[in-house]
Amino acid sequence: MQITLSSLSADIIKNTTAASIHSRPTESLNQDKVSMGTTAALDFSKMNKVLQDMLSIAFLGLAQAVDIRGKEKVSPALFGYFSIIRERVKPLMEDRRMDKDIAEVKSLIQKGDLR
């Protein structure tokens, strides 16, 4: 999971460079009136899916840490997140595919269950 998370964060960094470096001069180099706001917003909207994948992986790591450390040692808020996640995703006890687990947690994020 850490390699996937690192790869996703690299993708975000690559795709969120300042949009202003792509601005073009207008009126014979007199003024720069090309707004890059729309470009920046479109770039960010493309990264929203990746950010949700990253958050899903982080929440899965959080739940696994609670499984290892013990439920009695966490705050009530953290235990609430843990409980919501564990209703949908079982603990990782042996190697398995995690894409379905990530999708489950992502759906919880999208529905607002992990606020």
Q: What is the pLDDT along the chain (115 residues), one digit of tens a residue?
A: 888 888 888 888 877 777 667 666 666 666 656 667 777 788 888 888 899 999 999 999 999 999 999 999 899 999 999 999 999 999 999 999 999 999 999 999 999 999 8
pLDDT the model gives residue 13: 81
**In the chain, domain spans:** 2-111
Whole-angstrom Cα distance, residue 42 to residue 37?
9
Q: Are 47 and 15 in contact (CB under 8 A)?
A: yes
pTM listed for this prediction: 0.77
Q: Is 26 helix (H, G, I), strand (E, B) or coil?
A: strand
pLDDT the model gives residue 95: 92
